[in-house]
């Protein structure tokens, strides 16, 4: 009975972890997708003012935007990678019973 209760707690914890990972993936994906159009508009705006007298400012902004775009692309690639992994079912009760039996045999020897 004790193992049964532990298994239920373990399974509940595993489910919560799966939900947290899913929510994190959704959050990062949403943020990254929302920021990409804004960055694109800023890049276009920089193209329009590139010939202005503030070439250092424009160059710095372009570098910042490129860095932001790289970070967002890396985040999206990470999320795509996380989605490729699927959880597998493990018969934890059987494994724990085998471990317990092995331990009990060890104690008897």
Domain residue ranges in the chain: 32-82
Question: Residue 35 in 3-state DSSP?
Answer: helix
Write the CA distances from 82 to 16, 31, 66, 76, integer angstroms: 16, 16, 24, 10
User: Mean pLDDT for each 10-residue chunk of the chain (109 residues)?
Assistant: 73 86 79 80 78 74 83 77 67 78 80
What's the pLDDT at 93?
77
| Cα-Cα-Cα-Cα dihedral sign, residues 3, 9, 13, 16 | positive
- Tell me the pTM: 0.47
């Amino acid at each position: 009975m004790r193992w049964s209760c532990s298994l239920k707690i373990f399974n509940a914890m595993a489910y919560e972890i799966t939900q947290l990972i899913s929510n994190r993936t959704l959050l990062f994906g949403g943020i990254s997708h929302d920021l990409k159009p804004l960055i694109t508009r800023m890049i276009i705006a920089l193209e329009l003012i590139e010939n202005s007298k503030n070439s250092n400012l424009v160059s710095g902004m372009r570098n910042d935007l490129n860095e932001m775009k790289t970070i967002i692309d890396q985040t999206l690639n990470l999320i795509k990678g996380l989605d490729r992994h699927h959880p597998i079912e493990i018969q934890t009760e059987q494994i724990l019973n085998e471990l317990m039996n092995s331990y009990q045999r060890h104690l008897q020897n």
